[in-house]
Structures are given as C-alpha cells and as structure tokens.
Amino acid sequence: MFDTSRWIRQRRRGFTLIELLVVIAVIAILIALILPAVQNARESARRTECRNHLKQIGLALHNYHELHNALPFGYVSDPTNPGVGKGWGWAVPLLPGLDQGTLYKKLSPDQMTLQAVMDSSIHQEFLRTPLSLLVCPSDEADEESHINRRFSGFTLNSTVPVVAHVLQWPPVPTPGPTGVATSVSSYVASLGSDWDGSTTTWNARQLLGRGAFGNNSEVKLAHVLDGTSNTFAVGERSWSSFSGVWAGVDFWDNCIFNGNQMVLGTTAYKLNDIPWGSSLDCQSRGAAGFGSPHTGGAFFLLLDGSVRFINDTIDSNPSSVPAERGTYQRLSDIRDDQKPGNF
C-alpha cells in the first residue's frame, strides 16, 4: 500500500525556491546591518592609531627639547647660499627618537646637506624609506610623495659598471624621471596663522612664522607665552590635499607647493579647506593648511604633548589684527597674548 505520509515527509526535507530566497534576503539584511558596524570599528581603531602616532611624535619633540633646550627647526636653510634651495625638515632630527636611528645615520644630516643626499645615487634612495609612524592609517596615501611635493632633480638609480674597453668604476648613476619623490608624511608642523598668498617672495619674518616651527627656528617652550596646552605643534594633512613629506623642502625661501608647505601647515586657511592653486601658486588653501580623512575635523598635537581632535566647525578668522583672530588661528600662534577660548 502506498504510504502517503512518508512521501510527504521526504518532500519536506528540501527547501523550496521561495524559502531559499527568503534565507538569502535575511542574510543580505544582516550583512547590511553588520558591515557599517565593522567599518566603524575599523575606523575607530585607525583613528586611535593615528592619535598614538602624534603622541609618539610629541614624546620625540620633548626628548629633543630636553637635549637641545629648543624645538627642532621647521626646516633649515643657508641664506648665505641662496642657490641651494633644499633644506632638511623638522622630522629629520627627530628620527632617532622615532626608532629610526639607523636611517638617521644613513642620511648623516649633520654632515650632509639635503642637496648632497639628493645628488648621491647611494643616499637618495634613503629618502624613499617608508615611515609608517608618519602616516595616518585612515589616510589612503601612497608611500611616495604626491607629484606636487616632489623635489627638483633626477631620480638616481644604481647602475652596473659600463663595459667598454675597460670597466668604468665607480659606476655612473643613471638619471631617471625628473622630479624626485620621497616618502610621504601625513603630519605637518605649525607655521602659525600668517600666510601671504599674494607673492612667492617672502621676507625673513614671514619665513619664520608665528608658530612653533619656521625657517631656521629655535623655539623654546619657555617662549610659548600662550601656554603649551593652548598651542599647536603638529597637525594632520590628508593625501587629498597632497599631504607632506618628512625629508624637507625643495625651495626654502618661498611658499609654493614644494616650498615651506612641504613640511609646514598654516591656519590662515580653515580646517579641511579644499586644496587650491597650481604648483607655482602660494594660494594653496587646504594644500597649505591642515585637514584629515576623519569625519568632522583633524587630530593635532599640542606643545604640552597632548593630542586633541579639533572640529572643523571651530571659530576661524585669519585676521591681521591679533584681537580679531579666531580660536583656530590663536591656537597656532605661540605668543600673540590672545586666549584661544574653548576648543
């Protein structure tokens, strides 16, 4: 006799097409709900790491100050030799304090100028050493500097001896592409709130700036009359605004893309402003200022070693009159005798 109940039970062992579609839809909904939470958790971890990078830079700055009784220069230059435009940036003397003592010895900045390193087929490659501590994990930056942040000159490649009648030794460096890329940095030091975008010819006072770092600056913490807890030291600049570099500047005496803004940032432009101008233009806006890939603001290291997240809605007014400057500008000037207000 045919067992109808058994036949029904056997048929129910599988899923119908409708049931499969329902299961797939439920899984898709769960993924849609979970994915943003996972992404938020990852970004939170990246933000924490970015903050910790700045804290380590702060420790290195304070150790340097303790040894030398001053902060490092923003970038160094030799005004008596204006034909050499390249100069080391503020991060180079900090390398030993950032666990990069070996790289510091290879570069030998105490004995070699940046120009000399750039002209050496052996030493130039050291400038392309990636430094993860100087890159914010939230930023999708390349390892090498943006095309707008390249140094003038040729990329020098190591070569084998040229075979002619005799071997040529030492080998002759072969020029590569024009425009020398170095490794990138997501962090630039504070020049202050002054910025003259109307000309590329800056005087010594403008090059020195009003911030903690400038051309050949030697700022002591005792000189920071506004208080170290109220003054920017280093802040972020994202790849979308061409970031910066740690090595130094290509032209120390001006403010174009490969001038002082390669290593320094200004609060003359609002936080997270759009990048603007050409490579030969000082009206760079976000490319000369500060900004980040984080939503709503950017991290800043203050001179007391603390790290604060500054909202891009902060009061901002880059006035030439100190009393009229916004909170954002007052935080970047070391001795304007103006209280920054809440931030």
172-186 pLDDT, tens digit each: 444 555 689 999 999
Structural element, H or E, at residue 301: strand 297-302
- Averaged pLDDT score across all residues of the chain: 86
Q: Which residue in 212, 236, 239, 211 sits closest to 296, CA to CA?
A: 236
SS3 (DSSP) at 187: strand
For residue 22, which phi and psi values (nearest 5 degrees)?
-65, -45
Structural domain contains residue 166: no
Structural domain contains residue 17: no
DSSP character for 98? G
Q: pTM for the full model? A: 0.83
Structural domain contains residue 124: no
DSSP character for 25? H
**Domains in the chain: how many in total?**
1
Structural domain contains residue 121: no
Average pLDDT over residues 265-274: 96
Structural domain contains residue 233: yes
CB 264 within 8 A of CB 297: no
Structural domain contains residue 172: no
Structural domain contains residue 338: no
Q: Which residue in 107, 301, 129, 312 sits closest to 212, CA to CA?
A: 301
pLDDT score of 195 more than 90: yes
The pLDDT score that the predictor gives to residue 106 is 96
Give the residue, 45 or 289, on which the prediction is more confident: 289
SS3 (DSSP) at 104: helix
Q: Which residue in 156, 144, 146 sits closest to 116, CA to CA?
A: 156
Structural domain contains residue 12: no
For residue 296, the enclosing domain spans 48-83+134-141+183-330
pLDDT score of 169 more than 90: no
Average pLDDT over residues 77-95: 88
